[in-house]
Amino acid sequence: MKWPASVLVVALALSVGREASAHPEPAAAQQAFESARTLERAGKVEDAFLAYAAIPGAQHAAVRIAAAVSLLVLGERDVEPAIVGWLGSSAAEEARETLRHLERVRDGRDLTFARAALQPLADEPGGLAKRLLARIPR
């Protein structure tokens, strides 16, 4: 099922725009995040996106990144600039988290938009960027 872009954008905006006072207990947030990840690994991408977006305190980078990549997997292109921004972030953890989630994108053609942002990361430890670049057709 393809979600209307308006629903996905509103859900992502709600997850990104929550106030800091909405922070859950760390254990509860981690449990919710792991539940969403389990749904995603089971191929239930739409359910996983909704689970990520429903996590209280979803303004955390890891949740925003997971949700954005889920949108990308669903075919939403509006998230591409945000993903490129995270890849180029001076916060190394944010770039690594983005790389890790981009591994979920099955078709390398869907990563073409990120080629320029991935190239400077190709020599980073772990080789994630290099593996992603290898999947993008020339």
Note the pLDDT tens digit of each residue in 74-119: 898 999 999 999 999 877 778 888 999 999 999 999 999 999 999 9
- Quote the CA–CA distance of 36 and 44 in Å, as a whole number: 9
Domain boundaries along the sequence of the chain: 1-78, 88-138
Retrieve residue 111's tokens: 């990563």
8 Å CB contact between 52 and 58 = yes
- Quote the CA–CA distance of 90 and 30 in Å, as a whole number: 25
Alpha carbon of 98 to those of 4, 36, 83: distances in Å? 24, 16, 7
Q: What is the pLDDT of residues 21-80, one digit of tens each?
A: 344 456 776 787 788 878 877 888 778 777 777 776 655 778 789 889 988 998 989 999
8 Å CB contact between 36 and 55 = yes
DSSP state of 58: T
- Quote the CA–CA distance of 106 and 44 in Å, as a whole number: 14
